[in-house]
Amino acid sequence: MINSLSLRSNYKTLKKFTYLNQASLGLVSEKTATSMIEFLNEIAKHGNAHMSDQDEVNFFQTLRNTCCRLFNCNSRNLAILSSASELLNQLPYLLDLKKGSKVVLVKSDFPALFRPWQAFSEKNKLKTHFVDENLNIDLTSSIIEIIDNETVAVVVSYIQYATGSRIDLQRLQKITKKLNIPFVIDVTQAAGAIPLDISKIECDAMVCSGYKWLGGHGGVAIAYLSDNLINKTPLMPGWMGAKNPFNINNDKLDLAFGAKRYTQSTMSYISLKSLNVSIKEILNLGIQNIASHSEKLKKYLLSSLNKDKFKTLNGNEKLLSSHIISISNNEMDSTKITKILFDNGIICSLRNGFIRISLAHYNDQTDIDKLLSVLNKL
């Protein structure tokens, strides 16, 4: 029997649903939700009478310090943003792009990664070269195959949101480093689910949303920026990115030291405080423990799934992540199956025509058994 890694009673959603959808909207724990409610009640009762200017600045620094433990990096390289797109849209203009003709992207990747480059390419002589995700070929190899001296940047998600395909960052960074090509990574579908050590990844920027595997609320994202980027002037410099945000200086652009300069303005402090709580919960569980737990559930699911009826999106199971699995039925439309699952209290997602199942630390074998009981009867 595979038991849950965390206490299931801490997640109210599980009382009603079999939730296999952390890749879409992560469940918020009771402790995290309580921190949000307490903060909101304090504001409702007292406004900011008990909150100083420095307290507001500290909300950001406290979260940065916690994220340092999550990613194993220096806080000077971390920026707190309102969304991952906030930085992704600036990168085409901030990265040191050499002369070339194309940026390498993945066709099935999340739109937030490629839309900024599509807009950039319209005003610059640059092509967006999309790599197709072949069902039976390692995606990393497909990306490496088209990188050449004409490549000005490589922008990818570590874990593909729709398929669960995993990029080999070590292999890819060797190529980008050798050719001196800027390397941008989105780890939204990885952070909090599998170990991430930024000290071992040579990239120019890494972004991550906080409302999925990190268990936070919307309106906050985390970005890692290389030592080169943290010294540049953001395209959208805001007042919270100043050295001392509450010491208003109109004489000059007084940017903060390091990645803090990329934080624009007042954000949802409820989201900042609650994300700090949820990340600490994840760290206490242990990221490697979480990854091992989802791997056990994945193996159990795939070993019990009717292979005559269903196939995984990647024919080679070794190319899949442990926590996101996409399947399809050989005869029945995935939209219909997702509806059947929902009618049975099982929450999954429909992505690119496939049923996406995401496994979290609160899931256990009974969740998989319930899923299988429905799927294998179809």
pLDDT of residue 318: 63
pLDDT of residue 313: 67
Question: Which of 293, 73, 75 minimizes the C-alpha distance to 197?
Answer: 73
pLDDT of residue 53: 87
pLDDT of residue 320: 75
Measured at the CA of 71, the angle between CA 53 and CA 219, to 5 degrees, comes to 50
Q: Rounded to whole angstroms, how far apart are CA atoms 24 and 306?
A: 25
**Regions of the chain where pLDDT drops below 70:** 135, 313-319
pLDDT of residue 317: 61
Question: Rounded to whole angstroms, what are the CA distances from 329 to 124, 263, 326?
Answer: 43, 45, 11
pLDDT of residue 161: 93
DSSP of 272-315: HHHHHHHHHHHHHH-HHHHHHHHHHHHHHHHHHS-TTTEEESSS
Question: Dmax of the chain from CA atoms?
Answer: 70
The sign of the CA dihedral 98, 99, 100, 103 is positive
Length of the chain: 378
Across the chain, the runs of DSSP E, i.e. the strands, are 18-19, 78-81, 102-106, 127-131, 151-157, 183-186, 205-209, 221-225, 310-312, 324-329, 346-347, 349-351, 354-358
**CATH domain 8-28+284-375 topology:** Aspartate Aminotransferase, domain 1 (3.90.1150)
- Give the residue extent of every domain in the chain: 8-28+284-375
pTM comes to 0.94
